[in-house]
Structure 1
Amino acid sequence: MRTINIQPISAEAFASYGDLIDCSGAPDKIINQGLCGRYHDRAELDFGDGQAGLSLFNAEPRALPMPLLMMERHPDGSQAFVPMSETGFLVIVAADEDAAPGLPIAFETTPGQAINFHRGTWHGVLTPLSAPGLFAVVDRIGQGGNLEEHWFESPYQVARP
């Protein structure tokens, strides 16, 4: 089985797949009588037809090493995963190669980080590594399908180095 080693996520390493959403740098604005820093417009939300929707996902934690059997993408809209707990989670992405995922890359977020996949980005499923696996998800709500899946003939294994 081919192994993919998990690496820490950074805005630069993740940029071609989506947005790393966090409170890095100085706030764009101080609000609420000077008691709150606003980090404004941190993700490129992109939807074809339809509209942005906010849903809650409650995913079961996964154990490592973990088999990667399939990846998916959403051609009609971006998809943001915002954890509702102070835990990191696993993010798996791949470049598109002839309408299929290329070599997958695995990242691990840290507490306080969220991600937004750009429209059409191949990615693994929502993968918390510890409980609770509760996430707010912002994605396209609308008519028609917005999901493509690719199942690997030979699965990968995702592990810590």
Structure 2
Amino acid sequence: MTLATIHAQPLTSQAFAPFGDVLEAQGAPDKVINQGNCGRFHDRAALDFGPGGRAGVSVFDAEPRTLPYKLEMVERHPEGSQAFLPMHSHPWLVIVAEAGDVPGQIHAFLASAGQGVNFHRGTWHGVLTPLHAPGLFAVVDRIGETPNLQEHWLDQPVLIAPAPM
């Protein structure tokens, strides 16, 4: 069986906007703080923890994957946003799907060193997918009493490949 192939594109704020926020230090900082020694890129994510939720910071240590990557399942968090902040300096893979009761068209992005993402509440996305060890990420998401994870197994897996040169 031949799998549908999607090419991972560079992660940009504009391309990722329908799914969430790109977290990076690009352009001039909003403020310069700490006696002029630190640029602050202020309030870059629309964090959403929903009713009855609170912010939680966790550390994930994910096994690295390789490209091409076979995508079989996506997930979403209906009660709040989820931010992935790499604790390393390596590129990593970000996979999202267009909105709906079931995932729509799949999109893949290659995040550069220094880029994190915040998935908006309810955004279908792939699991944390580092491409190099260590796969350490700080994750900011909703902590609460209600279930906040829905998984959807794809009818047909999708192959995620690097963008052609």
TM (norm. structure 1) is 0.97
Per-residue deviation, 1:103? 1.3
Give the superposition deviation at 1:96.
1.6
Q: Which residue of 1 aligns with 2:110?
A: 108
**Cα displacement (A) at 1:14:** 0.1
Q: Which residue of 1 is the match for residue 91 of structure 2?
A: 88
Q: Tell me what 2:133 maps to.
A: 131
- Structure 1 residues 34-113: aligned runs within 5 Å: 34-48=36-50, 49-97=52-100, 99-113=101-115
1:85-118: per-residue Cα shift (whole Å, max 9, x none)?
1112100001123x01111000001011110000
Unaligned runs of 5+ in 2: none
The answer to whether structure 1 residue 6 and structure 2 residue 8 are counterparts is yes
- The aligned amino acid for 1:5 is H
Q: Match for residue 153 of structure 1? A: 155
Offset of 1:123 from its aligned partner? Answer: 0.2
Cα shift readout 1:23-76 (whole Å, capped 9, x = no counterpart): 112111111111111111010101112100000000000011111001000010
Distance in 2 (CA, whole Å) between partners of 1:92 and 1:65 is 13
* Alignment-derived partner of residue 16 in structure 1: 18
Residue by residue over 1:1-39, the C-alpha shift from the partner in whole angstroms, topping out at 9 and shown as x without a partner, is 111111101000000100001011211111111111111
* RMSD of Structure 2 on Structure 1 (CA): 0.7
Q: Residue type of the partner of 2:32?
A: I
Divergent runs of 4+, >3 A:
none
- State the shift of 1:128 in Å: 0.1
Counterparts of 1:20-31 in structure 2 under 5 Å? 20-31=22-33
Q: Which amino acid aligns with 1:69?
A: E
How far is the alpha carbon of 1:120 from its aligned partner? 0.4
Aligned residue pairs total 160
Shift of 1:81: 0.2
TM-score by length of 2: 0.95
Where does the alignment leave 5 or more consecutive residues of structure 1 unmatched?
Answer: none
